[in-house]
Each structure stands twice: as structure tokens, then as C-alpha cells.
């Protein structure tokens, strides 16, 4: 099966690479094919950030910059985009970019292996923020660097560098030229009619037609999971179907009753939309992986993946979200929790694609919290994730919906606990009874992240924390809850 050509913008020039295999990663392309070895290979699974590069695409008439992990990003996914690596920051005459100047001035590098990744995450922040005349706060720096790990320098000098980037003469990108080049690429023939190994349709109709014709093709979006299959399990796919260019799937539409999030919307943008109406979700959203993973991964991919420890699903279940499945035969809608039939298994037919997640708008009576318990506070996988949405009326629980992750083969809804709460007075006695029900409702396994007993104990403790916060106790910490269960 023939491989398609890859077209992108790099160093201000249009680049065409021929016959790129479908499972070639961007990191392999950079280091092995193009000799751009400043981009490093560390963990090769999207955790350490040494391989970070920046992608640029057109949004609202200007360039938007996204730091991503090149190790788990398929090379073809950057087609039609602009690319910057650590070798592209300094000017042709050797003048350092403000990001490099700030790292140097603050002694923010020792062994240097991680530094290219830090520099690229900071470059994305510089372009999106400093070049728009906005100062960088400590919190913004922490978030931008949340996917980059350093074992030598520690983070203080790197964070100092992030806040001092604007102190040096500007090193902006020629956005006008880059935008014109991206416009040219947008009209480059994609070759969808040919029997290519990698297909990137632009419309939903094209996607559904291709899915019907090639049900065996591997669907991909941000590849934050499929990339691991390629790197760690050494999987090869004869044909890949990429959904990220489908215009209808990249949109977030606000309706009176719900928010419709396209399946190809990145986690970064999806969480921003959810936070706009539910600000309490910010802390949880920032604990979902690191920024480069959120910039690549999609909400639809996280949901369709069906991992029992996928963090978005417990929240969406508690919010009573629904998913839309579509094929050339039509579309159907169902509650998100009804999508799964077993471990990483779902009800989708071979020709169906998950297209949208419909999230109900918040009501005035809603009290919502979502808790993630993991060994590390940041950039870690959940041992337990619990999301609770409660509606109170006249001191009683009018409605309860609870989503749970990490306790079964799939993300699940705690229906027994919901029944134990509904209609009952919102009192310590009701909460105590519900805690017992929640601990008994699931039989979690023991693994490297937590024991079965720990998970059950934490479930009850988190529900108690929810009660305390509903009573105005805002100082209850995740550490306090975890320690009670030990």
C-alpha cells in the first residue's frame, strides 16, 4: 500500500517528504530522517518532555502555538502545520532567542538533556503570551512546564527563566509569511481517493465514507495512547485514519441546554470550555497529564479509548454527558457510561465513529466536585478518580450522579450510591450510609498504583470530603483524605 507524502512548514520553508510510513513517529522523522538531533529521546512515552517540539496552526486569523511530545505523535499528523524544534530558536547569525537567553542567565541547565524540551515548552509560552504583550505568571509557567521533567537543576531557575523571557529583545516569528505558507498547504492535494496508508479527511462525510470503506483502519486523533502502542508494543498499522482535520469534529458549540464538544477537540480546549461554566474544574483539569499531552490528546479519544483510569470519563459520567456515534447509516446518541461493554471494549460498530460529547449546562442547584488520587500530585495516573454532582432541594438530595474511575474494568457510574442518596436528607448520617454503599459497590483490583482495600477506603473518604466541602469546609486536602485510608 503506497504511503502519502508529508507537507509542512519548517524554518520558514515549505517541506515535502515522500513516502512516509503511517506509523513513523515525528521524533523518528526528526532525528533519523532529518538529522535534527537537538530534539531528544528520553522516555519515548510522552512523560519526560525531552522530545518536545512546537506546532503552529491558524486560529482566528493568527498563529497558535502548541508544545507537543514528538515521541508519541505520528509524523503525518503535522501535515499542513508549521514546526519548530530546539535547533530553530537561535537566529542564523547565532543570536540566542529570548528563551535561550533566559535559561542561560538563570543557570537553568546542568546535564542539558532535558533542556531542549524545556526550551520548546517555553517557546510556545513565549509566542502565545509574551509576543501578545502579556507577562508570564508563576502559575502559567508551572502549567506550561508541567510535562517536562528535570532531575538535575530543579525547577526554580527554570521557572525564573520563564518569567524573565520578556527581558531580552523580542525574537518573534514571521507570522505573516508562515500564515501564507500554511494557506498554500491547505490547498495541497491530500490524495484521499488513492489507497494511501494514511488518510486525513477534512469533512465528517469524508470520514464516515472512509470508515465504512476501511473498517480495519486504526483510528487516531492525538495519538497519546496509540503512540505508546507503536513505541512500546511495536505495533504496525497497514492503514491509519486520522480524525483531527475533520472540521465538524474540531468545533465546540454552546447550546441553551448543553455544550457540544467535537471528538477532535484537544483536551486543552475541551477543559477550557468546561471550566468557562464550571470554574471549580480548573485544578482537576491541570492535573490531567502535562500540557504537551493535553495539547495533543483529544477528549473524544480519551472517551473512545475506554481506559478504566481515563480521568475525563468519571467527570463526564457525573455530568450526565452523552456521546454521539455516527456512520454512513446515520447517527445515534447514548449516555456515556453505556458506551462501554468491557475492558477497552465498546458498543461501536466497525463502521461507526464517536463524533461528539454532549455535556449538559450547569444548573443553579448543582454542587460538583471531582477528585483525583495518585502517587504524585501532578503528571500521574489515577489510582482512584471520583466525580460527584449533587442537586439539593429543601435540605434533601433531589438528584445525585457519581462517576468513578480506577475501580472496575471500565469507567463506571455508582448507581447504588446514587440511589442511597436520592431523596434523603443531606446529613452526616446519610453521608455515612452512602460511604458504606460506595465502598461495597465495586471490587477493585490491587496493582502497582494501589491495593483494592486502599481504593475502597479512599472512595468513602472522598465522599466524606465532598460532604465537608458542601458545608463550606474548603481546606480539606487530598493528602488528608489519602492518609485517612492508610
Q: What is the mean pLDDT of residues 6-13?
A: 94
Banded model confidence at residue 198, pLDDT cuts 50, 70, 90:
very high
Q: Is the pLDDT of residue 482 over 50?
A: no
pLDDT for 483 equals: 35
Positive or negative torsion for Cα 469, 474, 478, 484: negative
Distance of alpha carbon 252 from alpha carbon 234, whole angstroms: 35
Banded model confidence at residue 105, pLDDT cuts 50, 70, 90:
very high
Q: Are 438 and 403 in contact (CB under 8 A)?
A: no
For 108-111, which contacts have Cβ atoms below 8 Å and span 24 or more sequence positions?
Answer: 108/153, 108/157, 108/158, 108/160, 108/161, 109/153, 110/152, 110/153, 111/152
pLDDT for 1 equals: 81
Domains of the chain, CATH where assigned: 6-87+176-242 (3.10.20.30), 98-167 (1.10.150.120), 248-360 (3.30.465.10), 366-484 (3.30.390.50)
Give the pLDDT confidence of 244-260 residue by residue, as tens digits.
999 999 999 999 999 99
Q: Is the pLDDT of residue 109 over 70?
A: yes
User: Any idea how long the chain is?
Assistant: 486
Q: Work out the percent of the chain whose per-residue pLDDT is above 90.
A: 89
Give the pLDDT confidence of 326-354 residue by residue, as tens digits.
999 999 999 999 999 999 999 999 999 99
Banded model confidence at residue 203, pLDDT cuts 50, 70, 90:
very high
pLDDT for 214 equals: 95
Q: What is the mean pLDDT of residues 141-154?
A: 91
Positive or negative torsion for Cα 476, 479, 485, 486: negative
Distance of alpha carbon 421 from alpha carbon 388, whole angstroms: 11
Sequence-distant (≥ 6) Cβ neighbours of residue 187 within 8 angstroms = none
Banded model confidence at residue 217, pLDDT cuts 50, 70, 90:
very high
pLDDT for 475 equals: 52
Instruction: Classify residue 202 by burial, with Cβ atoms within 10 Å: 0-12, 13-18, 19+.
Output: middle
Distance of alpha carbon 289 from alpha carbon 222, whole angstroms: 13
Mean pLDDT of the chain: 93
pLDDT for 377 equals: 83
Give the pLDDT confidence of 24-67 residue by residue, as tens digits.
999 999 999 999 999 999 999 999 999 999 999 998 889 999 99
pLDDT for 210 equals: 96
Give the pLDDT confidence of 168-191 residue by residue, as tens digits.
998 778 999 999 999 999 877 555
pLDDT for 195 equals: 76
Cα distances (Å, whole numbers) of residue 351 to 219, 266, 281, 331, 334? 11, 23, 34, 11, 17
Q: What is the mean pLDDT of residues 259-281?
A: 97
Sequence-distant (≥ 6) Cβ neighbours of residue 477 within 8 angstroms = none
Q: Work out the percent of the chain whose per-residue pLDDT is above 70.
A: 96
Distance of alpha carbon 32 from alpha carbon 27, whole angstroms: 8
Give the pLDDT confidence of 377-409 residue by residue, as tens digits.
888 899 999 999 999 999 999 999 999 999 999
Amino acid at each position: 500500500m503506497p504511503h502519502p507524502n508529508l507537507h509542512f512548514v519548517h524554518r520558514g520553508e515549505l517541506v515535502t517528504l515522500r513516502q512516509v510510513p503511517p506509523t513513523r513517529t515525528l521524533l523518528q522523522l526528526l532525528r533519523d530522517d532529518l538529522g535534527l538531533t537537538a530534539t531528544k529521546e528520553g522516555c519515548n512515552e510522552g512523560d519526560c518532555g525531552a522530545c518536545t517540539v512546537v506546532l503552529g496552526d491558524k486560529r482566528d486569523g493568527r498563529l497558535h502555538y502548541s508544545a507537543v511530545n514528538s515521541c508519541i505523535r505520528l509524523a503525518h499528523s503535522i501535515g499542513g502545520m508549521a514546526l519548530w524544534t530546539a535547533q530553530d530558536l537561535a537566529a542564523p547569525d547565532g543570536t540566542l532567542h529570548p528563551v535561550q537567553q533566559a535559561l542561560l542567565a538563570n543557570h537553568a541547565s546542568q546535564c542539558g538533556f532535558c533542556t531542549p524540551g524545556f526550551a520548546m515548552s517555553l517557546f510556545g509560552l513565549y509566542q502565545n503570551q509574551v509576543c501578545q504583550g502579556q507577562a508570564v505568571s508563576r502559575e502559567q509557567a508551572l502549567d506550561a512546564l508541567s510535562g517536562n521533567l528535570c532531575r538535575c537543576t530543579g525547577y526554580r531557575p527554570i521557572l525564573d527563566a520563564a518569567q524573565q523571557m520578556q527581558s531580552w529583545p523580542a525574537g518573534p516569528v514571521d507570522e505573516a509569511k508562515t500564515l501564507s505558507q500554511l494557506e498554500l498547504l491547505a490547498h495541497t492535494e491530500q490524495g484521499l481517493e488513492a489507497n494511501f496508508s494514511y488518510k486525513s479527511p477534512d469533512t465528517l462525510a469524508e470520514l464516515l465514507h472512509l470508515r465504512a470503506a476501511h473498517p480495519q483502519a486504526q483510528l487516531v486523533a492525538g495519538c497519546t495512547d496509540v503512540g505508546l502502542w507503536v513505541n512500546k508494543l511495536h505495533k504496525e498499522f497497514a492503514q491509519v485514519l486520522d480524525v483531527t482535520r475533520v472540521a465538524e469534529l474540531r468545533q465546540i458549540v454552546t447550546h441553551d441546554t448543553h455544550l457540544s464538544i467535537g471528538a477532535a477537540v484537544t483536551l486543552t480546549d475541551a477543559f477550557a470550555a468546561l471550566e468557562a461554566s464550571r470554574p471549580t474544574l480548573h485544578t482537576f483539569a491541570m492535573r490531567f497529564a502535562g500540557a504537551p499531552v493535553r495539547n495533543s490528546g483529544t477528549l473524544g479519544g480519551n472517551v473512545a479509548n475506554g481506559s478504566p483510569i481515563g480521568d475525563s470519563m468519571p467527570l463526564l459520567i457525573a455530568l450526565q454527558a452523552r456521546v454521539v456515534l455516527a456512520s454512513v447509516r446515520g447517527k445515534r446518541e447514548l449516555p456515556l457510561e453505556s458506551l462501554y461493554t468491557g475492558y477497552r471494549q465498546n458498543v461501536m460498530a466497525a463502521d461507526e465513529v464517536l463524533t461528539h460529547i454532549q455535556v449538559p449546562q450547569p444548573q443553579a442547584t448543582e454542587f460538583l466536585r471531582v477528585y483525583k488520587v495518585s502517587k504524585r500530585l501532578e503528571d500521574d495516573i489515577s489510582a482512584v478518580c471520583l466525580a460527584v454532582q449533587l442537586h439539593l432541594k429543601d435540605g434533601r438530595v433531589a438528584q445525585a450522579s457519581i462517576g468513578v474511575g480506577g475501580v472496575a474494568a471500565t469507567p463506571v457510574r455508582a448507581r447504588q450510591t446514587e440511589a442511597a442518596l436520592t431523596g434523603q436528607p443531606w446529613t452526616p448520617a446519610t453521608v455515612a450510609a452512602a460511604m458504606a454503599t460506595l465502598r461495597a459497590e465495586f471490587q477493585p483490583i490491587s496493582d502497582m498504583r494501589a491495593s483494592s482495600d486502599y481504593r475502597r477506603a479512599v472512595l468513602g473518604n472522598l465522599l466524606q470530603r465532598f460532604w465537608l466541602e458542601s458545608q463550606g469546609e474548603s481546606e480539606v486536602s487530598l493528602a488528608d483524605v489519602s492518609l485517612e485510608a492508610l
